[in-house]
């Protein structure tokens, strides 16, 4: 592993980018074309690494002509994020007509004001994420596409996403890749360096940083999650191996448990002989 | 023999039966004496509650496909209704215009993604260990997880099978760490397993795996024929549908068995195992 790559992805999480990206592109094409019977990928492009890699995979799977990218800034979006998003559009040779910028500021403020005085930063942040998903599904409906989600395994596992916001996509093609692995792919498929070097942020409020909010850097988070859930280690062994406080490992694991509801469909209380949930065990591809 | 490495659409038995018929036509053109499809090739693998709902369609498809056979033998996977309401993960052997016989999976996995024992009744070694005949050879049939235990292949070999077909639905794992063109861990594990069985029981083993997506799973293909000497005779493509034919020399079975202790069996081992 080159010293540069070592900074991006811990050795134990290193991927084979060519094989993984070819596999994911193939799965994406099969899902969109054959399972869903659609042709187009609809992706919200934030200027961050996850959406850049999803846009790359969509273009690889369905062609740039079938990849539609939407820049959906609000007042808390740093201008450099939009510059980075545009650099991704250019790098992927997405046709001009397939890329649109739509401000979500007015929609967000209108909705937030409907809440009256009881609005706080997190509530407004979640409204932003949901407004974006409403628009993306609207574009998908108009164009006959699917909303390709940008959630990665780190975020999904710790529940660092908005229910029915960024969590409301049709498909999560990079949902089994930790953030560090997504960065590795971005670096190795030659996406703009700023995109995979920058500090991750949902930019839902000014100055928001994912790592400071989570209280841990992504490579360490990924190494903890990998050991706990991929390798089934206990928490003490993880803390000792990574030389991080046990309390940190416990806090992360607790966050995974506490956010389990976000990874499940809403609960249905059972009344009949057979209801949606544990009784309803049909495959996704049905008929 | 021909390895029919196909992708099936889950629950869509009619569509899958059409695919079987196409491959059987090709097998006829290639003069394959023995053609094998993967595990649950007619209804698809990850059926869950659909397991109960594909029984009739499977029966109709089997009857129709069997009518197309003559002297050749064709094996495919389906859901069999054993008694009312009870279903099995089964394989049918077709030939001479009819279904010649069936067998059901003995070991039903319930770890990780697998939940077969929830739905299926296991096969009974006393009735499901069957040796079938074609004009040229005697062969047995097992299903996927059965190859992860010593007895099914050992028993079929001792009962006279010269070839054991293993219908499989093995899903891919570990792609993120695989080398560019390297084998997945599951591929090398399967190959080691097939070779070990072939060497221990002195039989040809034909492993026929599913390929392609099914819900969040992706089957990796890589169907393989191993000789009684542990040599890989044929290997189908990874991740792609494929049709592979291979000629085998049955004398290899005889030669291997003359230099082998495969027929030795000590019941005491099973007595110990039974009491654990």
Asked whether the beta carbons of residue B179 and residue A27 sit closer than 8 angstroms, the reply is no
Compare CB distances from A27 to B9, B48, B218 and report the shortest one's residue: B218
A15, A283, A287 ranked by CB distance to B215: nearest: A283
Instruction: Give the pLDDT band (50/70/90) at residue B179.
Output: confident
Which site among B44, B52, B169, B176 would you substitute to test the A interface, given the most A Cβ atoms closer than 10 Å to its Cβ?
A: B176
| CA-based nearest distance B10→chain A, Å | 7
Question: Nearest Cβ partner of A23 from B49, B175, B179?
Answer: B175
Q: For residues B218 and B113, is the Cβ–Cβ distance under 8 A? A: no
Tell me the shortest Cα–Cα distance from B18 to chain A, in angstroms.
Answer: 15
Catalytic: B144?
Answer: yes
Taking the Cβ of residue B50 and every Cβ of chain A, the question of whether any pair is shorter than 8 Å is answered with yes
Q: Which residues of A touch B44 (CB under 8 A)?
A: 283
Residue B85: how many other CB atoms lie within 10 Å: 8
pLDDT, mean of residues B244-251: 97
Contact B141, B106 (CB under 8 A): no
B241 vs A119: which has the higher pLDDT: B241
Give me the residues paired with residue B168 across strands.
B209
Shortest distance, CA B203 to any CA of chain A (angstroms): 35
Q: What is the mean pLDDT of residues B107-115?
A: 94
> What is the number of domains present in chain B?
1
pLDDT at position A233 is 98
Which residues in chain B are closer than 8 Å to A16, comparing Cβ atoms?
Answer: 176-180
Over residues B130-157, the mean pLDDT reads 97
**Residue A1, pLDDT score:** 57
Give the mutation candidate from B175, B219, B220 for the A interface (greatest A CB count, under 10 A): B175
State how far the Cα of B5 lies from the Cα of B41, in Å rounded to an integer.
9
Q: How far apart are CA B221 and CA B27, in angstroms?
A: 18
A3-206 under CATH 3.40.50.300, yes or no = no
Strand partners, A42: A68, A147
Tokens of B160: 């006279």
Query: Taking CA atoms, what residue in B is nearest to A27?
Result: B213
- What is the pLDDT averaged over residues B151-163? 97
Q: Which one of B58, B76, B137, B144 is the catalytic residue?
A: B144
Confidence of residue A2 (pLDDT cuts 50, 70, 90): low
Compute, in degrees rounded to 10, the torsion defined by CA atoms B4, B10, B14, B16.
Answer: -10
Across the range B14-21, mean pLDDT stands at: 97
Tokens matching residue B229: 């000497």
Answer whether B84's CB lies under 8 Å from B106's CB.
no
Interatomic CA distance for residues A128 and A228, integer angstroms: 32
pLDDT tens digits for range A183-234:
999 999 999 999 999 888 887 888 888 788 888 999 999 999 999 999 999 9
Q: What CA–CA distances, in Å, run from B49 to A228, B109, B116, B117, B216?
A: 32, 16, 11, 12, 17
Give B25 to chain A, closest Cα distance, Å: 25
CA distance B87 to chain A (A): 16
Give pLDDT, residue A212. Answer: 81
For residue A282, the chain B residues in CB contact (below 8 A) are 48-50
Looking at the DSSP bridge assignments, the partners of residue B225 are B206, B234
Q: Which domain holds residue B253?
A: 2-274
Chain A and chain B share a number of CB contacts under 8 A equal to 55
pLDDT of B252 higher than 90: yes
Residues A244/A34, Cβ–Cβ less than 8 Å: no
DSSP B123-145: P-HHHH--EEE-SS-EEEEEEGG
CA distance A97 to A144: 16
Residues of A in contact with B213 (CB under 8 A): 27, 30-31, 35
Q: Is B52 exposed, middle or buried (0-12, 13-18, 19+ CB in 10 A)?
A: middle
How far is the C-alpha of B159 from the C-alpha of A29, rounded, in Å?
47
User: Does pLDDT of A144 surpass 60?
Assistant: yes
pLDDT, one tens digit per residue, over A89-106 is: 999 999 999 999 999 999
The residue of chain A with its CA nearest to that of B11 is: A287
pLDDT tens digit sequence for B29-70? 999 999 999 999 999 999 999 999 999 999 999 999 999 999
Q: What is the pLDDT of residue A287?
A: 66
Average confidence (pLDDT) over B160-184 = 91
Give the percent of chain A with pLDDT over 70. Answer: 99
Label the pairing between strands A40-44 and A145-147.
Answer: parallel
pLDDT of residue A5: 79
| Whether residue B211 has pLDDT greater than 70 | yes
> What is the structure's pLDDT at A12?
95
Of B178, B216, B218, the CB nearest to A16: B178
Q: Is the pLDDT of residue B197 over 80?
A: yes
**Other beta carbons within 10 Å of B148:** 13
The DSSP-derived string for B39-98 is TTTTT-S--GGGGGTSHHHHHHHHHHHHHT-SSSEEEEEEEEEEETTEEEEEEEEEETTE
**A158 or B85, which is more confident:** A158
Q: Which residues of A touch B10 (CB under 8 A)?
A: 283, 285-286
pLDDT, chain A, mean: 94
Q: Which residues of chain B are within 8 Å of residue A286 when distances are taken between CB atoms?
A: 10-11, 50
Please provide the DSSP assignment of A37-54 as one string: ---EEEEE--SSHHHHHH
Q: What was the pLDDT predicted at A3?
A: 61
Q: What is the spatial distance between Cα B139 and Cα B205, in angstroms, rounded to a whole number?
A: 10
Q: For residue A15, list chain B residues with Cβ-Cβ distance below 8 A.
A: 176-177
Tell me, yes or no, if B105 is annotated catalytic. Answer: yes
Complex ipTM, two decimals?
Answer: 0.88
- Smallest CA–CA distance from A279 into chain B, residue: B49
**Chain A closest-CA separation from residue B68 CA (Å):** 26
* Rounded mean pLDDT, A80-91: 96
Query: The pTM is what?
Result: 0.92
Q: Catalytic: which of B105, B166, B187, B214?
A: B105
Task: Chain B: give the shortest CA distance to residue A22, in Å.
Answer: 10
Q: Where are the domains of chain A?
A: 3-206
Question: Going by C-beta distance under 8 Å and a sequence separation of 6 or more, which residues neighbour residue A50?
Answer: A150, A151, A152, A155, A174, A179, A182
Q: Which residues of A touch B216 (CB under 8 A)?
A: 284
CATH of the domain at B41: 3.60.110.10
Q: Is B176 within 8 Å of A181 when comparing Cβ atoms?
A: yes
Which one of A15, A16, A34, A152 would you mutate to disrupt binding with B, by most B Cβ within 10 Å of its Cβ? A16
Can you read off the two tokens belonging to residue B167?
A: 């219908």
Name the DSSP class of A245.
-
């Amino acid at each position: 592993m080159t010293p540069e790559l070592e900074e991006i992805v811990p050795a134990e999480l290193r991927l084979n980018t060519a094989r993984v990206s070819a596999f994911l592109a193939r799965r994406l094409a099969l899902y969109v074309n054959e399972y869903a019977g659609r042709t187009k990928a609809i992706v919200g492009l934030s200027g961050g690494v996850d959406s850049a890699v999803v846009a790359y995979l969509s273009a690889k799977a369905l062609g740039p002509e079938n990849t539609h990218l939407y820049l959906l800034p609000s007042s808390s979006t740093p201008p450099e994020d939009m510059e980075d998003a545009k650099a991704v559009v250019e790098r992927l040779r997405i046709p001009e007509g397939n890329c649109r910028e739509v401000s979500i500021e007015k929609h967000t403020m209108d909705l937030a004001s409907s809440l009256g005085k009881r609005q706080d930063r997190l509530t407004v942040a979640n409204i932003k994420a949901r407004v974006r998903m409403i628009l993306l599904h609207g574009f998908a409906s108009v164009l006959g596409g699917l909303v390709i989600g940008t959630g990665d395994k780190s975020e999904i596992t710790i529940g660092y996403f908005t229910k029915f916001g960024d969590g409301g996509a049709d498909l999560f093609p990079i949902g089994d890749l930790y953030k560090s692995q997504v960065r590795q792919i971005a670096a190795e498929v030659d996406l703009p360096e700023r995109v995979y070097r920058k500090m991750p942020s949902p930019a839902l409020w000014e100055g928001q940083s994912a790592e400071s909010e989570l209280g841990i850097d992504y490579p360490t988070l990924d190494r903890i999650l990998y050991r706990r859930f991929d390798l089934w280690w206990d928490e003490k062994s993880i803390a000792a191996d990574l030389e991080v406080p046990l309390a940190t490992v416990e806090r992360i694991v607790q966050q995974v448990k506490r956010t389990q509801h976000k990874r499940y469909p809403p609960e249905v209380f059972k009344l009949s002989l057979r209801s949606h949930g544990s009784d309803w065990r049909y495959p996704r591809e049905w008929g | 023999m021909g390895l029919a490495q196909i992708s099936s659409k889950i629950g869509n038995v009619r569509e899958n039966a059409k695919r079987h018929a196409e491959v059987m036509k090709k097998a006829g053109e290639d003069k394959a004496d023995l053609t094998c499809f993967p595990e649950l090739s007619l209804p698809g693998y990850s059926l869950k509650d659909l397991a109960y709902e594909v029984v009739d369609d499977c029966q109709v498809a089997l009857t129709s496909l069997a009518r197309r056979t003559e002297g050749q033998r064709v094996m495919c996977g389906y859901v069999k209704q054993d008694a009312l309401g009870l279903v099995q993960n089964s394989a049918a052997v077709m030939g001479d215009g009819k279904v010649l016989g069936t067998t059901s999976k003995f070991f039903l996995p319930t770890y990780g993604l697998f939940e077969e024992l929830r739905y299926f009744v296991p096969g009974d070694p006393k009735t499901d260990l069957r040796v079938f005949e074609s004009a040229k050879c005697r062969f047995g049939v097992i299903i996927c997880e059965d190859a992860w235990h010593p007895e099914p292949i050992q028993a079929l070999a001792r009962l006279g099978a010269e070839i054991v077909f293993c219908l499989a639905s093995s899903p891919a794992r570990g792609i993120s760490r695989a080398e560019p063109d390297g084998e997945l861990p599951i591929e090398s594990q399967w190959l080691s397993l097939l070779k070990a069985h072939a060497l221990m029981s002195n039989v040809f083993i034909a492993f026929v795996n599913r390929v392609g997506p099914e819900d969040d799973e992706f089957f990796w293909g890589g169907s393989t024929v191993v000789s009684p000497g542990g040599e890989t005779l044929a290997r189908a493509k990874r991740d792609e549908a494929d049709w592979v034919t291979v000629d085998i020399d049955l004398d290899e079975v005889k030669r291997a068995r003359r230099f082998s202790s495969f027929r030795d069996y000590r019941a005491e081992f099973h007595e110990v195992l039974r009491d654990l």
